[in-house]
Amino acid sequence: MGVGERNLKLTIAYDGTRFVGWQRQNNGPTIQGELEDKISLMTDCKTVLCGAGRTDAGVHALGMVANFKTDSSIPCDGFQKWLNSLLPDDIRVLEIEEVAADFHARISARGKFYQYRMALGGVSVPTERLYRLQLPGNLDLQAVASCLNELPGEHDFSSFEAIGSRDLSYEGGRGAIRRIFSAELKICANDPRYIDIEISGDGFLRYMVRNIVGTLIEIGRGRWAVEQFALLFAARDRAMAGPTAPAHGLFLKEVFY
Amino acid sequence: MGVGERNLKLTIAYDGTRFVGWQRQNNGPTIQGELEDKISLMTDCKTVLCGAGRTDAGVHALGMVANFKTDSSIPCDGFQKWLNSLLPDDIRVLEIEEVAADFHARISARGKFYQYRMALGGVSVPTERLYRLQLPGNLDLQAVASCLNELPGEHDFSSFEAIGSRDLSYEGGRGAIRRIFSAELKICANDPRYIDIEISGDGFLRYMVRNIVGTLIEIGRGRWAVEQFALLFAARDRAMAGPTAPAHGLFLKEVFY
């Protein structure tokens, strides 16, 4: 690991379709792996990237953040252009800036903003199939919006956490408690069958957004009453909530610092 | 060719990325070829589809129309579901309906509606890279809108026609004269750097929309004055206009009957 004098912060967008996730692993291509390999090549020094979090296989990002230490003297602008020229076209570095030595993409993060995209009513658009969940029926959007109103504030999200995946040290020892800043339903102005669920918060458990969305879909379809949603928090039981919504509808839009 | 008693009209959406175009040909996969093969399999009869037009390699469609004659008795709804189950997921049949015997997807068409999608200002979004032209700089949108105002009405579009591609018989012997119904610049409400150029008309020459867009980009960049655009019609010379904009930004949105 090259620990040099400069601390560089990267803002990254990617199409998660063909990746097994952000985090470097041996079972397939990863965004972290692609970036580390190319940066190591450029700096002639084995580089480890620190990401703001991990996105799972198939999840997309419009504003992922990562940082790394380097003694390379390449200016940020030139570094960005060169790096993009080496990267595959489904990963783009949007910005590189030099930050204080103590900036840490994960620990310094104050929050994240996720968007989950859906198309309702049997809309079938091949050019959206990799970036928006297409649901055959309609949803009771009033019910979905009512549930989203329950989200802001601090809650124990055990019911929405991927089973067996808790890693207390990773998220600061708070267990499953997270603070949601905002949770909104956006209906697309051009086509009201396109809806986006937008959630920002100070941290997210693994699969948390997708488990919330999967539960909202069940409620929107009328399988459960709206009141059930609030009860899920109290239950702290993953088995009570809905299924995990597919990865391809989820976008990490921004990381706040 | 199976000429039966029913005339079925298909409305089709596709992601043009991996196809060499709509029209069946021997140098690669085509949308027409995929559809004909699957319909022939279902009806046990070699079927030829009549499309409302041809889209070129890489161009997408949200509402392409085609028709075919068949003596199959499969109801439209069941036909659609079965056909979609056989098709690759980058082609979706949105609707099948039985129409009058004299309905002809190309000859009966009163017009078409195209959309060309762009992202300005160096926006680089990997999840849009296959469906929106990403331009490094900005465009003078007022200049682009002024040019679009020149389009409605009947004009000789020789200057915007692909060289050597004229096929008079194909478009009804009108030469290069086409009537444009409307031509508008749409700025995306969520992100003003996303702009769409929407053009509808009674017919389009090969590459016509992409040649118009390529010319608008040159004018938007200040290479030519706005006044140049009107002069291009009078010149009737393809060499005078701008380059052909890339295929992946273009969507055939609708065919009017």
Tens digit of pLDDT for each residue in A113-140? 999 999 999 888 999 999 999 999 999 9
Q: Please state whether B138 falls in left (phi above 0), alpha (psi between -120 and 50) or beta.
A: beta
Q: At what angle do helices B227-235 and B208-220 cross, to 10 degrees?
A: 150
pTM here is 0.90
**A246 exposure class (CB count in 10 Å sphere: 0-12, 13-18, 19+):** middle
Q: What is the torsion angle, in degrees rounded to the nearest 10, for the CA atoms of residue A190, residue A192, residue A193 and residue A195?
A: 90
Environment class of A189 (CB within 10 Å of its CB; exposed 0-12, middle 13-18, buried 19+): exposed
**Residue type present at position B137:** G
The pLDDT mean for chain A works out to: 92
CATH topology of domain B6-99: Alpha-Beta Plaits (3.30.70)
Q: Where are chain B's structural domains?
A: 6-99, 111-256
Instruction: State the Cα–Cα distance between residues A54 and A39, nearest whole angstrom.
Output: 19
pLDDT over threshold 70, residue B164: no
Answer yes or no: is pLDDT of A169 > 70: no
Answer whether residue A103 shows pLDDT above 50.
yes
Distance, in Å, from the CA atom of B9 to the CA atom of B25, rounded to the nearest integer, reads 22
Q: Cα–Cα distance between A145 and A141 in angstroms, integer?
A: 6
Pick among A64, A127, A130 to test the B interface (most B CBs inside 10 A): A127
Burial of A234 (0-12, 13-18, 19+ CB in 10 A): exposed
How much is the pLDDT for A234?
Answer: 84
Are B94 and A124 an interchain contact pair (Cβ–Cβ within 8 Å)?
yes
Q: Do the Cβ atoms of A126 and B90 come within 8 Å?
A: yes
Out of B94, B127, B130, closest to residue A60 by CB: B127
Q: Please say if the pLDDT value at position A171 is more than 70.
A: no
Contact B126 A189 (CB under 8 A): no
| Averaged pLDDT for residues B8-20 | 98
Q: A6-99 and A111-256 share one CATH topology?
A: yes
Q: What tens digit of pLDDT does each residue of A56-78 get?
A: 999 999 999 999 999 999 999 99
A18 vs B: CB within 8 A: no
Residue B116 has pLDDT above 60, yes or no: yes
**pLDDT at position A199 over 60:** yes
DSSP string, A87-123: S-TTEEEEEEEEE-TT--TTTT--EEEEEEEEE-TT-
pLDDT digits 0-9 by tens, B53-106 = 999 999 999 999 999 999 999 999 999 999 999 999 999 999 999 999 999 999
Q: How far apart are CA B200 and CA B11, in angstroms?
A: 18
**pLDDT at position B1:** 42
For residue A61, the SS3 value is strand
pLDDT of residue A4: 55
Q: Is the ipTM of this complex over 0.90?
A: no
Catalytic residue numbers of B, as ranges:
56
DSSP label of A226:
T
CB contact under 8 A, B126 and A13: yes
**pLDDT band of A244, cuts 50, 70, 90:** very high
Q: Which residues of chain B lie closer than 8 angstroms to A134, CB-CB?
A: none
Q: pLDDT confidence of A174, banded at 50, 70, 90?
A: confident
Mean pLDDT of chain B: 92
State which fold the A111-256 domain adopts: Alpha-Beta Plaits (3.30.70)
Is A56 an annotated catalytic residue?
A: yes
* Residue A188 vs residue B163, higher pLDDT: A188
Tell me the per-residue pLDDT of B19-33, one tens digit each, with 9 for 90 and over: 999 999 999 999 999
Q: Where are the beta strands (DSSP E) in chain A?
A: 6-14, 50-51, 60-70, 91-99, 111-119, 133-134, 153-156, 177-187, 194-201, 250-256
Residue B223 CB-density burial (10 A; 0-12 exposed, 13-18 middle, 19+ buried) = exposed
